[in-house]
């Protein structure tokens, strides 16, 4: 630290547990320099290596002044049982599309709980990876993308299962009957092949949730609610306030009255006083989500899952959302986060999300980042970080410019990773970093050194000549899977769905015939590898549907043969689904994040169909688990 030359300075650390540690000054002389009418020197102090992990405070004192700064001690490497234990496999699913007969038109946390419990008990799964559950706008239209939320800290109450709320059974019989009828109306959507309609589902659920909220809480439940509000603090209040303002004036800030530009104004304070019940309602919704997430994770662990719920963290937030409103001081304006061009997105991507402001976030001691992680990790056995490169650098696109006109801006990755590891370790959660695309090798090495699991997608595992890479050569500390949510399900990918969609939408940078030829070479390369390594019989006819099904199973067998620590199975693959959930580089041009899950014939499927153990699921999971005796033990033989 810099002090007036000749002055004595003392430094101590106040630990988060209340203890105090005095630091020892190092005998390290630096020649003082003139600064105005005084000379300034340096004083260096040693931070003990055995200082406990946590959020502490360092204080420096001289005769003239006292200065305090945060001091965060983070683990060099994330150490949790799920990282050091046995290999695990699990389903990966888009929860909104994972419906059951009791869903209200979208998959919810009761469906998540049921899938986790069943796959853990019946199939020996160790985790369930779901899409980001971050909140969207409470007012229609609700943005379909789970990767463009209004906040990353709080969750979307559209995933609440109304009947699992504690006070539901206490409703007056006429009210409960009305809500049951409403549920039955919405449940008819579960068998429809139409695109998923979040606005209709949320409108119905909100009617039910408001009815339950007005019932009030018992003294014990009210105390629990108060504890939750105290735990989440000002962040929850700011989010609920933004929701209430959006309810009242709409989600577009241009339509808000003057004085509502940020949380701390007199106008916002007056609004809060006048709309206290509405703000309470939005806090209550988050409490209910917290309770149902806790219930889901408990069910997963009770089913024997080593990890349980593996949640997903989006890269950023909506530019007019709650975080952008309440955290303006730590977000950058005039630019948005995206991705440079790559093989599958040849024009680049602009995600329209405001990025962290590196200097401002550091000035805030990374507390907004920490608080977000704590909330997301509270009921998770693991956390997937979408585009983990964003902890190192971000592709920022200037407003009004095309995505390929962006540039990379660096972040303090040591601090970002250290805090991530600290909060994950305290939560007992593993971390998976999606390290695909334009990621240098040293980034993957840093992540591995910190105990963060990487990502391997079969289609991206190729050598420099484009030939399929044998699974034995893949990385060890990764979550490996055949596909990813930005590509069609495996059955669709094998039939060139990814080529067809991009050709129809004008997203190809080369002629469509060239793209189809490249896709055919890719299939042939993988077919050869599968046959040569005994993953697929040579007599399989890939021109038939049955042959393509064998191809899908063999690809999963290859992934399971890799040394990957975690093996992911996309739930649509066990039904033979073909349609993509998302086409990067599009907005309204493709029905992103609204596609219902179907089987190979296009018929809508539900969790009950999975629980009936269809043949493809039995064979595919059996291939992943590796040995036929496991299938026999779990009752999976046909």
Cβ atoms within 10 Å of 495's Cβ, excluding its own: 16
Q: What is the CATH number of the domain that holds 24?
A: 2.60.40
Q: What is each CA distance from 91 to 299, 311, 385, 410, 574, in whole angstroms?
A: 16, 12, 17, 34, 10
- Range list of H helices, 250-345: 266-274, 276-302, 322-326
Residue that has been written with the tokens 């943005």 in this structure: 143
Confidence category of residue 275, pLDDT binned at 50, 70, 90: very high
- State the pTM of this model: 0.94
Q: Of 99-103, 110-114, 483-487, where does mean pLDDT reach its minimum?
A: 483-487
Nearest to 486 by CA among 29, 85, 24, 145: 145
pLDDT digits (tens, 9 = 90+) for 192-244: 999 999 999 999 999 999 999 999 999 999 999 999 999 999 999 999 999 99
468: DSSP letter: B
Query: β-strand 54-61 against 88-93: which pairing, if any?
Result: unpaired
- For residue 53, being part of any structural domain is answered with yes
Strand ranges, E, within 355-433:
382-385, 393-398, 407-410, 430-433
Query: What per-residue confidence (pLDDT) applies to 636?
Result: 42
Is pLDDT above 80 for 513?
A: yes
CA distance 320 to 307: 34
Residues linked to residue 35 through DSSP beta bridges, in sequence order:
38
Contacts of 547 (CB under 8 A, 6+ apart): 540, 541
Number of neighbours of residue 109 by Cβ within 10 angstroms: 24
Q: Which residues contact 411 (CB under 8 A, 6 or more apart)?
A: 356, 358, 390, 391, 392, 393, 394
pLDDT score for 212:
99
Q: Mean pLDDT in the chain?
A: 94
pLDDT tens across 30-53, in order?
899 999 999 999 999 999 999 999
In the chain, % of residues over pLDDT 70: 97
Q: Are 588 and 110 spatial neighbours (Cβ–Cβ below 8 Å)?
A: no
Q: Is residue 242 a part of any domain in this protein?
A: no
pLDDT digits (tens, 9 = 90+) for 155-206: 999 999 999 999 999 999 999 999 999 999 999 999 999 999 999 999 999 9
The SS3 assignment for 4 reads strand
> What is the per-residue pLDDT across 560-611, written as a single tens digit (0 to 9) for each?
999 999 999 999 999 999 999 999 888 899 999 999 999 999 999 999 999 9
Angle (nearest 5°) at CA 107 between 102 and 112? 95
**Taking 70 as the threshold, does the pLDDT of residue 143 lie above it?**
yes
The length of the chain is 638
Question: Do residues 142 and 158 make contact, with C-beta atoms less than 8 angstroms apart?
Answer: yes
**Tokens 């992943």 belong to which residue?**
624
Look at residue 637 in the predicted model and tell me its pLDDT. 41
Lowest mean pLDDT among 15-24, 74-83, 425-434: 74-83
- In three-state secondary structure terms, 297 is helix
Residue 40 lies in a domain: yes
Residue 299 buriedness (CB in 10 A; 0-12 / 13-18 / 19+): buried
C-alpha 96/C-alpha 131 separation (Å) is: 9
Residue bearing tokens 């590196």: 358
What's the confidence (pLDDT) of residue 1? Answer: 84
Q: What is the pLDDT of residues 331-373, one digit of tens each?
A: 999 999 988 887 667 778 888 899 999 999 999 999 999 999 9
The Cα 187–Cα 308 span in angstroms is: 27
Query: Which of 99, 126, 118 has the alpha carbon at shortest distance from 635?
Result: 118
Number of domains observed in the structure of the chain: 1
So what's the pLDDT on residue 18? 97
Say whether the peptide bond before residue 141 is cis (omega within 30 degrees of 0).
yes
Distance, CA of 415 to CA of 422 (rounded, Å): 10
Angle CA 345–349–355, to nearest 5: 145
Q: Which helix (H) or strand (E) holds 289?
A: helix 276-302
Q: What is the band of 438 on the pLDDT scale with cuts at 50, 70, 90?
A: confident
Q: What is the DSSP letter of 26?
A: P
- Token readout for 504 is 């129809």
| Two structure tokens written together for 485 | 């949510």
Cα–Cα nearest to 488, from 597, 411, 384:
597
Determine the structural domain holding residue 63 and report its residue range: 2-73
Beta pairing class for 20-22 and 10-14 = antiparallel
Cis bond before residue 394 (omega within 30° of 0)? no
Strands 38-42 and 45-46: unpaired
Taking the alpha carbons of 196, 90, 634, 458 in that order, is the dihedral positive or negative?
positive
Write the CA distances from 504 to 121, 497, 499, 583, 586, integer angstroms: 43, 11, 9, 12, 12
- Among the listed residues 283, 98, 105, the one whose alpha carbon sits nearest the alpha carbon of residue 204: 105
Q: How many beta carbons lie within 10 A of that of residue 33, not counting itself?
A: 11
Residue 336's DSSP bridge partners are: 397
Worst-scoring range by mean pLDDT, 79-83, 260-264, 404-408?
A: 79-83
The average pLDDT across 529-547 equals: 94
Q: pLDDT grade, residue 627 (50/70/90)? A: very low
- Provide, rounded to the nearest whole percent, the portion of the chain with pLDDT above 90: 89
């Amino acid at each position: 630290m810099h002090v007036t030359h000749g002055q004595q300075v003392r430094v101590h650390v106040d630990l988060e547990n209340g203890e105090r540690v005095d630091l020892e000054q190092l005998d390290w002389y630096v020649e003082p320099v003139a600064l105005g009418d005084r000379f300034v020197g340096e004083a260096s102090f040693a931070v003990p290596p055995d200082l406990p992990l946590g959020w502490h405070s360092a204080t420096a004192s001289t005769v003239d002044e006292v200065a305090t700064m945060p001091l965060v001690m983070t683990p060099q490497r994330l150490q949790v049982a799920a990282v050091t234990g046995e290999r695990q496999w699990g389903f990966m699913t888009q929860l909104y599309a994972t419906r059951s007969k009791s869903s209200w038109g979208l998959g919810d946390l009761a469906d998540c709980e049921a899938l986790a419990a069943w796959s853990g008990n019946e199939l020996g799964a160790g985790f369930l990876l779901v899409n980001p559950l971050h909140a969207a706008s409470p007012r229609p239209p609700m943005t379909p993308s789970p990767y463009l939320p209004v906040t990353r800290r709080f969750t979307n109450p559209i995933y609440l299962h109304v009947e699992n709320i504690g006070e539901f059974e206490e409703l007056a019989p006429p009210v409960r009957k009305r809500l049951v009828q409403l549920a039955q109306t919405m449940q008819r959507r579960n068998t429809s092949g139409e695109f998923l309609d979040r606005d209709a589902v949320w409108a119905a659920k909100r009617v039910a949730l408001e009815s339950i909220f007005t019932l009030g809480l018992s003294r014990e439940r009210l105390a629990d609610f108060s504890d939750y509000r105290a735990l989440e603090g000002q962040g929850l209040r700011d989010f609920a306030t933004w929701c209430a303002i959006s309810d009242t004036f709409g989600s577009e800030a241009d339509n808000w009255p003057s004085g509502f530009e940020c949380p701390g104004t007199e106008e916002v304070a007056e609004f809060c006083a006048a709309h206290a019940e509405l703000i309470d309602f939005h806090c209550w919704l988050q409490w209910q989500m917290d309770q149902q997430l806790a219930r889901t994770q408990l069910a997963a662990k009770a089913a024997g899952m080593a990890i349980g719920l593996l949640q997903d963290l989006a890269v950023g937030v909506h530019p007019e959302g709650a975080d952008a409103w309440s955290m303006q001081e730590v977000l950058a304006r005039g630019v948005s986060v995206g991705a440079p061009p790559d093989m599958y997105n040849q024009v680049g991507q602009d995600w329209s999300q405001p990025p962290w402001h590196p200097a401002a976030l550091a000035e805030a001691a990374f507390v907004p980042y920490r608080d977000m992680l704590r909330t997301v990790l509270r009921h998770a056995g693991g956390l997937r970080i979408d585009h983990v490169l964003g902890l190192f650098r971000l592709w920022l696109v200037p407003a009004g410019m095309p995505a390929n006109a962006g540039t990379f801006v660096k972040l303090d990755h040591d601090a970002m990773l250290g805090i991530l590891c600290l909060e994950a370790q305290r939560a007992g959660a593993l971390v998976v970093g999606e390290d695909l695309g334009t990621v240098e090798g040293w980034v993957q090495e840093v992540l591995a050194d910190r105990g963060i699991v990487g990502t391997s997608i079969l289609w991206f595992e190729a050598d420099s000549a484009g030939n399929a890479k044998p699974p034995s050569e893949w990385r060890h500390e990764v979550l490996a899977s055949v596909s990813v949510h930005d590509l069609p399900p495996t059955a669709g990918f094998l039939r060139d769905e990814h080529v067809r969609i991009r050709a129809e939408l004008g997203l190809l940078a080369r002629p469509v015939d060239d793209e189809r030829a490249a896709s055919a070479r890719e299939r042939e390369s993988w077919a050869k590898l599968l046959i040569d390594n005994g993953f697929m019989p040579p007599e399989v006819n890939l021109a038939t549907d049955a042959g393509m099904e064998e191809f899908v199973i063999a690809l999963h067998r290859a992934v399971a043969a890799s040394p990957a620590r975690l093996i992911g199975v996309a739930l649509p693959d066990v039904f033979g689904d073909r349609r993509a959930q998302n086409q990067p580089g599009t907005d309204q041009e493709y029905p992103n994040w609204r596609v219902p899950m179907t089987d190979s014939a296009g018929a809508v499927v539900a969790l009950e169909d999975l629980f009936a153990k269809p043949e493809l699921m039995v064979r595919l999971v059996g291939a992943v688990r590796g040995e036929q005796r496991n299938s026999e033990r779990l009752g999976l033989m046909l």
